Amino acid sequence: MALAIFDLDNTLLGGDSDHLWGEFLVEKGIVDKDTYRQANDLFYQRYLDGNLDIFEFLAFTLKPLSEHPTAQLVNWREQFLTQKIDPIMLPAAHKLVEQHRQQGDTLIIITATNSFITAPIAQKFGIEHLIATEPECIDGRYTGEVAGIPSFKEGKVQRLDSWLTEHGQDLNGSYFYSDSHNDIPLLKRVDYPVAVDPDSTLEDFAQQQGWKVLSLRQ
């Protein structure tokens, strides 16, 4: 039984849930419209360019979680899932996930986006195992800090290695699907790396390496 590992944003989803959460907060008037949107867009561009400071970004994106009661956040998240996530769920992504499920593979989503946002999205795909950046929560309230290693770039490799040890698994026969050059460190680790609707940097690298390239958006 092999591992089938999936990036989430712009891979299984036809968009970026982290950036869309920021847009949702702006549209609902939960955060300052102009300053928050500008920062949200800037961080997203840095991510695309490959020069994102993950801790600076997390200080920004986790701050709103610390400013509201968890029950209110969950209510907003339900609205967010309906308004922003359901429209970008890709039928071909569901088909790919089901193909691996039918093969008996162990399914994992690994994402830099925090688990508050991504846990219910993983549930929508019927994927039990989620490795995501973890927001710190104390006494039922988010602190605005990150707990442990962010699941980003080499951090994804570290987090996956910890998961493998915890679950007694290995990477023999493993697949990893991703759109982003930020995931090259993990793509190099698996037996079957697949570039999914890749950014230009990953597409060039994948072609050089002879990796499979596919689209889930056709």
Is 7 one of the annotated active-site residues of the chain? Answer: yes
State whether 77 and 115 are in the same domain: no
Report how many domains make up the chain: 2
List the domain range (segments joined by +) for residue 46.
17-87
Q: What is the pLDDT of residue 1?
A: 81
Verify that 62 and 151 share a domain, yes or no. Answer: no
| Relative orientation angle of helices 70-80 and 115-124, to the nearest 10 degrees | 50
Based on the fold, state whether residues 142 and 100 are members of the same structural domain: yes
3-state secondary structure 131-175: EEEEEEEECCEEEEEEECCCCCCHHHHHHHHHHHHHHCCCCCCCE
The residues, any chain, with a CB within 8 Å of residue 8's CB and separated by 6 or more, are 17, 109, 110, 111, 113, 118, 121, 122
Cα distance between residue 68 and residue 79, in whole Å = 16
Please tell me which residue in 9, 16, 183, 197 is annotated as part of the active site.
Answer: 9
Report the percent of the chain where pLDDT is more than 70.
100
Q: For 54-70, what is each residue's pLDDT tens digit? A: 999 999 999 999 999 99
Last residue of a domain, one of 87, 103, 124: 87
Q: Which residue has the tokens 């997390």?
A: 58
Computed on alpha carbons and rounded to an integer, the radius of gyration of the chain in Å comes to 17
Task: Provide DSSP, 172-186.
Answer: TT-EEEES-GGGHHH
Q: Which residue has the tokens 């060039």?
A: 204
Catalytic residue at 9? yes
Q: What is the pLDDT of residues 178-214, one digit of tens each?
A: 999 999 999 999 999 999 999 999 999 999 999 999 9
pTM of the model: 0.96
pLDDT beyond 80 at 218: no
Q: Is the domain of 130 the same as that of 75?
A: no
Domain containing residue 38: CATH number: 1.20.1440.100
* 96 vs 5: CA distance, rounded Å: 11
Confidence of residue 98 (pLDDT cuts 50, 70, 90): very high
Cα(212)–Cα(119) distance, rounded to whole angstroms? 28
137, pLDDT greater than 80: yes
Based on the fold, state whether residues 28 and 132 are members of the same structural domain.
no
